Structure 1
Amino acid sequence: MTTFKDLGLNENIIKALTDLGYENPTEIQEKAIPQVIASKKDLKAFAQTGTGKTAAFSLPILEQIDTNSKNTQAIILSPTRELALQIAKNIEEFAKHIKGFRVSAVYGGASIEDQIRKLKKGVHIVVGTPGRTVDLINRKQLNLKNVEWLVLDEADEMLNMGFKDELDKILAVTPEEKQTLLFSATFPREVESIAKNYMHKPVEITSGEKNKGSDQVSHQFYVVSERNRYNALKRIADVNPDIYSIIFCRTRRETQEIADKLIKDGYNADSLHGDLSQAQRDSVMEKFRKKHLQLLVATDVAARGLDVTDLTHVINHKLPDQIESYTHRSGRTGRAGKEGISIAIVTGREKNKLHPIERIIGKKFVKTPIPTGKEICQNQLLKLIDKVHDIEVNEAEIKDFLPAIYKKLEDLTREELIQRFVSIEFNTFLSYYENAPDLNDSEHMQSGRETRGRRNDENMSRFFINIGKKDKLNPARLIGLINDQDIAKNIEIGQIEILDTFSFFELDKNYQEETLKAFESNDNSFEGRSVNVEITEKKRSGRGGRSGNRRRRDNGSNNRNENSRSGGGKRRSKDRKENSSTPSGFGRKRSTRRKG
């Protein structure tokens, strides 16, 4: 078996690797390290997330660094500050026995003056985000004219985040004679373009198959209605008592809302997104790494610097906009030889988004039924029993109390004792999931009368919408379309009337302008028709007709919720029973005790 010494690394580096518990190189390390040491040719490397990319490019550079010089000899660019910090930390650990070596991370959201002070002392390797690196170059505080190695780590993500102009500026101030190392988890056309423009006849190596998912990760999907997306998420967490997962959302707002709901429902969860301060982000990541949190709700960008090797699941609360991002997400689990599960929660209309992902990862998604209450109770109960079976008994401390305990329990049989013991912890859970609906029942989820009872509510505004039964509209789909506009949290929806070619709905009058603006600004279409929403100032004069002045707005929707609630009267656009507090689970730390 190949060792790090076989790859040409010196004793100081090997000693540091031994201290860190590294035994043998990964596939990408075994291919990249000797290539970078022995050759000055540019290198284009495909490596899935979690395969040891940082060591693959940093160890051969460390092997060749001249510590007698104060010049910056290598610049490593990464898409996020978290990843830049993680890379710099890893390099520090690899180089701890190399006397006089210095590495520094430069990134936004931190004091640029402090970073400048470190650079002035002389830094051999700079790890930076593109924006802050350009800022330091413009201030003439970062000199890259002596750089021998340029590393583009996660190049695909840097392009997705719009850093092409910054990359151009950075490369323009580096010497022509340098070794460029490009590492990427996926190779879309844009990354191939970078290689073509910035590299000269690069050597190409791969770890695994290009643009394919990890063999250690299985892929599942759950089909839900939009209104039950969060409930399905909770059931997935509850049916896996030992879950340790990142839940990916598309926006910062969605990330915070889902995290807040989970925390309120007693789950040991927190959020990670760009609106947090650096101190907050560091705190959340540290808690998650130490497993003080079981569920981390995060955006794609915020999770890039999170180096965790033993995630059990990655959950896509919603699929990413960029197909390649799914590969990055799923690559957070199934690392270091461990198996992982990547889950996608989708509505019926989102299922077609899975096919292009399957082509990218080279695997099929397995449709999985949403766990029932009975399945959840069984898994949680067995976890409790395992916990009891494996508990270490401190006989010395407990022995003085046992006679009194035995006396109190002497009238109970073995079976009765077990039943009562289990019920202490389990009754609340059983009660919560008793008669819980089957979230896989699509017909039940789509039920609803075509016309809801009339109300004359002065607190509601009445709207006309130019789609109806002939467009396959029903109350559930109309409520989903309204929810998709993100007009306001828990906005009240009143009367709905679905007619042949158009419909009416009522919303809280306080959000009249917000509703019109939302439908106007969102590029909505429904079953191929552009959506037009107008205010009807007066109630309709007769069935099938409409009257009164209306304010016209042209708009449309590609993504529609499948919220199924219908019926007369006013209510809030939010989940019902299963969005209430959930009972305390088993084998899992909770931030608060759940209510029954």
Structure 2
Amino acid sequence: MTTFEELGLDDRLVKATGELGFVNPTAIQEKAIPVLLGGTKDFIGLAQTGTGKTAAFGLPLLNLIDVQARHPQALVVCPTRELCLQIVKEIELFKKYMSGVFVTAVYGGTSIGLQIRDLKRGVQIVVATPGRLIDLIERKAINLEQIQYVVLDEADEMLNMGFQDDIEFILKNTPQRDSTWLFSATMPPEIKKVSKRYMTEPVEVQVGKVNTGNKNIDHQFFVAPAQYRYEALKRLIDFNPGIYGIIFTRTKADAQEISEKLTREGYDIDALHGDLTQAQRDKVMSQFRDKTLQLLIATDVAARGIDVQGITHVINFELPDDVEVYTHRSGRTGRAGNTGICMSIVHSRELFKLKQIERIVQAPFHRLEIPTGKDVCRKQFFHFMEKLLQADISHGDYETYVPMLEEKFADVSKEEVLKRVAAMEFDRFLKYYENAADLNMRTEDRRNRRDGRENMQHGAQGQDRRRNERGEQGRNYNNNGDFARLFVNLGTKDGFYKASFLQFILDMSDLRKDVLGRIDMKEMNTWLEVDKRAAGQMIKAIDGKNYKGRRIRMNDANSR
């Protein structure tokens, strides 16, 4: 098996990759690096996301640049800010033992002045998003005339996002380049057009088949009536208690609505879509990377270029219209040799479309039943038991308290203790699922479908009635259903959307999500329902405080 040392890289780069745990190159690295080290040949690398493309071009760039020359020699263009920062981070790790090498990222949504200052200090490698790079070119804040190497990373995604004119403009402004390296997961006609116009007899390397999915991904689908799609989503999340994943929707309205619903029901989730400011987007992504958020719900455009390690599941709340989009979605999991699961919730009328995707992705799709309420409870219970058994008790002085615990529980049997522990953890959860309806829609059983749907509706209505009687919604809800309606002079104009506003007021008041009811957010103000027992605490915590220089007013809406 080939090693990085055998590829012809500088010893300092080999040492750095070795410390990072890279001994043997991936398929794209093994095929690309020897070609790119020559520095004079145009190159097209076709490989799925997560196959090590950054090292495939980053290591040759570091090997080729002139450390003594403090001007841009290499330009990497990629579709999103997140990918831009990720590439810079990886190159910084690779150049650990190469002094005098400077890399900078330029992207939109942040101060262009600071980026101009970094460029003036002198850098050899610039990693950029197309829009901000063109802005810098037009301001004459960056000189690309001495650029020798241009890398177009995730080229298909850039073209899907409408950057074709921008890419051509950038290539026209790098007239002295020695070579152009294009990396892509797919090969649409637009890429062929760009390669013919701006590349000379490129060496083309293909790892795996174009448009095929990652073989480490298990593709699953669940058939549900359209009106129960959201309930099916909740079942799938609850049936996978260790899930760390991304949920994809077609529209930003769906992303926001589902995020708000799940947030209200106690899930650690937030939305990523085009209406967010860059600051809001950064905050969401930071929380997701830190695993403060267990789930991220996103539109396809907003999720372009996101590369987060360790994602266990991708859930398609709805199938995308484009097969290539499905490949991009599913490619967020099963990365770097890990396995992953891509789940799709579909209606019976979409089964033909799913077969088309399966044929093009060239991977088997497995139909599974939507878990029943009992299935979910059993799975959650086993997960809790495993956590209990694996709990680390080595860092606390628990021995001090053992005699007290033994005395306290002297007359309580082991079985009784276990039952009480389970009740504390699962009481509300078990109540929610104890009479849950069967969501599986069997297309082959057409005669019973109508009756089943009517029974499901009656069951759902009964469940809603029981839930209201208990004052529960999902895992968190108001205990008595008795709400106060509050007014607050904050709204969408202040940069809030519903999920972020809910988190803001809960953080300020130190209250739990289950005290909140309905919320009606306007541009300048918001009305929200709060458990009457918690309303006073919320008003006291928030009224009179400042937010971005504004004095917050919160009071009982009925007393205004």
The TM-score normalised by the length of structure 1 is 0.73
Q: How many residues align?
A: 471
**2:338 is paired with a residue of what secondary structure?**
coil
Partner of 1:368: 368
Partner of 1:159: 159
CA distance 1:76–1:259, shift in 2 (3 Å): same
Q: Which runs of 5+ in 1 are unaligned?
A: 450-474, 477-563, 567-571, 585-589
CA distance 1:577–1:59, shift in 2 (3 Å): farther
* 1:312 CA drift (Å): 0.9
**8 A contact 1:149–1:179 mirrored in 2:** yes
Partner of 1:582: 474
* 1:112 CA drift (Å): 2.0
Is residue 89 of structure 1 aligned with residue 109 of structure 2?
no
Partner of 2:524: none
* 1:326 CA drift (Å): 1.1
Query: How do 1:192-231 residues align onto structure 2 when only pairs under 5 Å count?
Result: 192-231=192-231
Q: Deviations over 1:314-352 (max 9, x none)?
A: 111122232211111111111111110011112222233
**8 A contact 2:146–2:176 mirrored in 1:** no
**8 A contact 1:104–1:127 mirrored in 2:** yes
**CA distance, structure 2, for counterparts of residue 444 and residue 232 of structure 1:** 23
CA distance 1:577–1:142, shift in 2 (3 Å): farther
Is residue 106 of structure 1 aligned with residue 100 of structure 2?
no
Partner of 1:34: 34
* 1:233 CA drift (Å): 1.0
Q: Which runs of 5+ in 2 are unaligned?
A: 459-463, 477-502, 507-511, 516-560
**8 A contact 1:186–1:327 mirrored in 2:** no
**8 A contact 2:270–2:296 mirrored in 1:** yes
**1:302 is paired with a residue of what secondary structure?**
coil
**8 A contact 1:42–1:202 mirrored in 2:** yes
Q: Deviations over 1:362-396 (max 9, x none)?
A: 11221111111011000111111111112233597
**8 A contact 1:313–1:333 mirrored in 2:** yes
**CA distance, structure 2, for counterparts of residue 396 and residue 232 of structure 1:** 41
Is residue 421 of structure 1 aligned with residue 421 of structure 2?
yes
**8 A contact 2:223–2:441 mirrored in 1:** no
**CA distance, structure 2, for counterparts of residue 416 and residue 366 of structure 1:** 41
Query: How do 1:24-423 residues align onto structure 2 when only pairs under 5 Å count?
Result: 24-38=24-38, 40-175=40-175, 177-393=177-393, 397-423=397-423
* 1:576 CA drift (Å): 10
**CA distance, structure 2, for counterparts of residue 301 and residue 12 of structure 1:** 38
* 1:244 CA drift (Å): 0.7
Larger Rg: 1
* 1:187 CA drift (Å): 1.6
**1:228 is paired with a residue of what secondary structure?**
helix
Partner of 1:17: 17
**Aligned residue type for 1:421:** V
**Aligned residue type for 1:429:** F
Q: Percent identity, aligned pairs only? A: 50
* 1:205 CA drift (Å): 1.0
CA distance 1:298–1:444, shift in 2 (3 Å): farther
CA distance 1:221–1:580, shift in 2 (3 Å): farther
* 1:446 CA drift (Å): 6.7
**8 A contact 1:86–1:305 mirrored in 2:** no
**CA distance, structure 1, for counterparts of residue 135 and residue 96 of structure 2:** 29
Q: Deviations over 1:148-173 (max 9, x none)?
A: 11111111111111111111211112
**8 A contact 2:147–2:176 mirrored in 1:** no
Q: Deviations over 1:403-458 (max 9, x none)?
A: 34334433344333333332222222211101100011467997499xxxxxxxxx
**8 A contact 2:149–2:177 mirrored in 1:** no
**1:126 is paired with a residue of what secondary structure?**
strand
CA distance 1:71–1:580, shift in 2 (3 Å): same
**CA distance, structure 2, for counterparts of residue 148 and residue 314 of structure 1:** 39
**8 A contact 1:107–1:132 mirrored in 2:** yes
CA distance 1:580–1:276, shift in 2 (3 Å): farther
* 1:184 CA drift (Å): 0.6
**1:293 is paired with a residue of what secondary structure?**
coil
**Aligned residue type for 1:259:** S
* 1:50 CA drift (Å): 0.8
**8 A contact 1:82–1:302 mirrored in 2:** no
**8 A contact 1:50–1:309 mirrored in 2:** no
**8 A contact 1:583–1:593 mirrored in 2:** no
* 1:272 CA drift (Å): 1.9
The TM-score normalised by the length of structure 2 is 0.78
**Aligned residue type for 2:212:** K
**CA distance, structure 2, for counterparts of residue 140 and residue 185 of structure 1:** 33
CA distance 1:388–1:309, shift in 2 (3 Å): same
**1:345 is paired with a residue of what secondary structure?**
strand
CA distance 1:348–1:130, shift in 2 (3 Å): same
**Aligned residue type for 1:582:** G
CA distance 1:160–1:57, shift in 2 (3 Å): same
Q: Deviations over 1:280-317 (max 9, x none)?
A: 22222222222221111122233334332211101111
**CA distance, structure 2, for counterparts of residue 388 and residue 222 of structure 1:** 31
**CA distance, structure 1, for counterparts of residue 418 and residue 62 of structure 2:** 60
**CA distance, structure 1, for counterparts of residue 12 and residue 391 of structure 2:** 43
**Aligned residue type for 1:303:** A
**2:231 is paired with a residue of what secondary structure?**
helix
**Aligned residue type for 1:92:** E
**8 A contact 2:77–2:152 mirrored in 1:** yes
**8 A contact 2:82–2:307 mirrored in 1:** no
Is residue 432 of structure 1 aligned with residue 324 of structure 2?
no
Q: Deviations over 1:228-278 (max 9, x none)?
A: 111111111100111110111222222222211111110111122232222
CA distance 1:366–1:565, shift in 2 (3 Å): same
**Aligned residue type for 1:85:** L
**8 A contact 1:228–1:439 mirrored in 2:** yes
**8 A contact 2:224–2:347 mirrored in 1:** yes
Deviates more, 1:394-403 or 1:293-302: 394-403
CA distance 1:444–1:581, shift in 2 (3 Å): farther
* 1:579 CA drift (Å): 13
**8 A contact 1:448–1:565 mirrored in 2:** no
* 1:577 CA drift (Å): 11
Structure 1 vs Structure 2 CA RMSD? 3.0
